[in-house]
Homo-oligomer: A and B are copies of this chain.
Amino acid sequence: MAELTYREAVAWGIAQEMRRDPNLVMLGEDIAAAGGVFKTTVGLLDEFGPERVRDTPISEQAIVGAAMGAAMTGIPVIAEIMFSDFLAVCWDMIANEIAKSRYMTDGQVSFPLVIRTANGGGVRFGAQHSQSVENWAMMIPGLKVVAPSTPIDVIGLMAASIRDPDPVVFFEHKSLMATKAEIPDGEIIDQLGQARIVRDGSDVTIAALALMVPRALEAAAALEADGISAEVIDLRSLVPLDTNTLLESVQKTGRFFTVEENPRLCGWGAELASIVSEESFWALDGPVIRITTPHIPLPAAAALEDMALPSVDRIYETIVKSFDAR
């Protein structure tokens, strides 16, 4: 057993896989000698050497392109894009090249690669360094999309993402970096596409991701005091999406809420809402409700940012109010 932070779990998970697979390499800006700007890759250079852990120029297209070319010629790669906002700088490479090439070539190429990136708000970095962009990746056919909420999931889902033969965009949440957990000994491997019911409940279903998971749990605790029993589901991966777990839960509770950090329009919550509204319509006892960041860029000031992201209070109040409605 070791106690690890979420941040340390990243390096832990990568190290586990680099020990297993001598071909696995990684590249990114300031990831080697400096151990990453979020200190998520500390120690990897020392253990695996500069041929396998490489610092790059500020050239996101070249980074992701190199990952693509190496992966398609048999070398599995982990590429770091420092902040998820910067996915925009290499979006062609990700959305148009990596995601589509397997299909376009009728299966001639595979992309065993992981694009790791620091996602989300709460650290007062402002509009260009705080976005939650899981929905950007989710909307592109061909990508898999993972976003862990705990140190153990970081390790297990990292291992699963690395071993997955398809391209995975792996979102590490900036505001969870310092959270801690006990990590069991031995290899940790998880599976993509399995949501986890992190709290059982019978009255409402709340689907959340990453930083929103602890907030949803806190809100659920508060709801309990009001006699509302909330089931909280940590989605963990958006693609593949564990719709079975979601739909079963809604079948039981009849009420569905999503808690999203991305801005409102076309977020992943909309997708889930649409799935539930179509497939569980007759089981619903009330409208499907999304709790999201409003459709605005994120402000930098602490006071403003705290108002923008879905808070425990907002989750709690939205759900309580929904029972009063109609």
Contacts and interface: CB of A to CB of B under 8 A. Distances in A.
Interface stretch (A10-18, A85-93, A152-160, A164-172): A85-93
A237 interface: no
Nearest to A102: B297
A271 interface: yes
Given A96-B85, A100-B128, A104-B127, A270 B281 contact: no
A277 B290 CA distance: 10
A59 interface: no
A263 B141 contact: yes
Interface in A160-218: none
A239 interface: yes
Interface stretch (A21-29, A72-80, A131-139, A222-230): A131-139
Nearest to A295: B141
A183 B179 CA distance: 63
5 interchain residue pairs of minimum CB distance: A281-B287, A273-B274, A139-B266, A88-B92, A270-B270
20 contacts: A88-B96, A91-B91, A99-B297, A103-B296, A104-B126, A136-B139, A139-B139, A139-B262, A139-B266, A141-B295, A141-B297, A266-B268, A269-B274, A270-B271, A273-B278, A274-B277, A276-B277, A278-B288, A281-B286, A281-B288
Interface of A: 85-86, 88-89, 91-92, 94-96, 99-100, 103-104, 126-128, 135-136, 138-142, 239, 262-263, 265-271, 273-274, 276-279, 281-282, 284, 286-290, 295-297, 299-300, 326
